[in-house]
Structure 1
Amino acid sequence: MEQILAPINQFLGCETPDEWIAFASRRESLPTLLIDHCNCELKAAQTAIALLRKYAVNDVSQDALKQWAQPYADLVYDKQRDVDAFLNADNKKNDIASALTAVTTLSISEDLIDKMVRLVKEEFHHFEQVLQIMQKRGIAYENRRAGRYAKQLIAQVRTYEPQALIDKLIIGAFIEARSCERFAKLSPHLDEELSKFYVSLLRSEARHYQDYLSLAQSLSDEDIAPRVAQFAEIEATLIQSPDEQFQFHSGIPSF
Structure 2
Amino acid sequence: MIDTTLASNTKFKILKQPSSEAWLQQTLANLDVVLLDHSHCERKAAGAAINLMFRYPAHHHLVRQLTAIAKEELEHFELVNQWLETRKISLAPLNSPPYGAKLKSQIRHAEPERLLDSLMVSALIEARSHERLNLIAEHCPERDLAKFYRSLVASEARHYGIYWLLADRYSEREILNQRLEELATFESEILATLHPEPRIHS
TM over 0.5: same fold?
yes
- Out of 66, 71, 89, which is 1:116 matched to? 66
2:172 maps to: 221
2:43 maps to: 42
What RMSD, in angstroms, separates the aligned Cα atoms of the two structures? 1.5
1:141-184, Cα deviation, whole Å (9 max, x unpaired): 11335421001000001110111111010001001111110111
1:72-107, Cα deviation, whole Å (9 max, x unpaired): xxxxxxxxxxxxxxxxxxxxxxxxxxxxxxx3xxxx
Bigger RCO (CA 8 Å, 6+ sep): 2
Q: Provide the aligned length of Structure 1 versus Structure 2.
A: 193
1:242 maps to: 194
1:23 maps to: 26
Q: Are positions 1:7 and 2:12 aligned together?
A: yes
1:88-139, Cα deviation, whole Å (9 max, x unpaired): xxxxxxxxxxxxxxx3xxxxx1111111011011000000000000100111
- 1:185 Cα deviation from its structure 2 partner: 1.1
Give the Cα separation in 2 of the matches to 1:145 and 1:113: 31
Contact 1:34–1:130, Cα closer than 8 Å, also in 2: yes
Contact 2:97–2:195, Cα closer than 8 Å, also in 1: no
- 1:195 Cα deviation from its structure 2 partner: 0.6
Partner-residue secondary structure (3-state), 1:125: helix
Contact 1:5–1:181, Cα closer than 8 Å, also in 2: no
Q: Which has the larger radius of gyration?
A: 1
Give the Cα separation in 2 of the matches to 1:155 and 1:216: 18
Give the Cα separation in 1 of the matches to 2:54 and 2:94: 23
1:211/1:4 CA distance change after superposition, 3 Å = closer
Contact 2:22–2:194, Cα closer than 8 Å, also in 1: no
Q: Are positions 1:233 and 2:190 aligned together?
A: no
- Give unmatched runs, 5+ long, in structure 2: 1-7
- Out of 166, 174, 177, which is 2:127 matched to? 177
Give the Cα separation in 2 of the matches to 1:195 and 1:172: 25
TM norm structure 1: 0.72
Contact 2:53–2:66, Cα closer than 8 Å, also in 1: yes
Matched residue type, 2:190: L
1:45-82, Cα deviation, whole Å (9 max, x unpaired): 011111111111xxxxxxxxxxxxxxxxxxxxxxxxxx
Matched residue type, 2:136: L
Deviates more, 1:147-156 or 1:220-229: 220-229
1:200/1:135 CA distance change after superposition, 3 Å = same
Contact 1:4–1:202, Cα closer than 8 Å, also in 2: no
Give the Cα separation in 2 of the matches to 1:242 and 1:45: 26
Contact 2:10–2:154, Cα closer than 8 Å, also in 1: no
Give the Cα separation in 2 of the matches to 1:5 and 1:184: 11
Give the Cα separation in 2 of the matches to 1:4 and 1:216: 17
- Give unmatched runs, 5+ long, in structure 1: 57-102, 104-108, 251-255
1:127 maps to: 77
2:86 maps to: 136
Give the Cα separation in 1 of the matches to 2:52 and 2:93: 21
Matched residue type, 2:100: A
TM norm structure 2: 0.91
- 1:235 Cα deviation from its structure 2 partner: 0.7
Q: Are positions 1:199 and 2:169 aligned together?
A: no
Give the Cα separation in 2 of the matches to 1:145 and 1:213: 29
2:53 maps to: 52
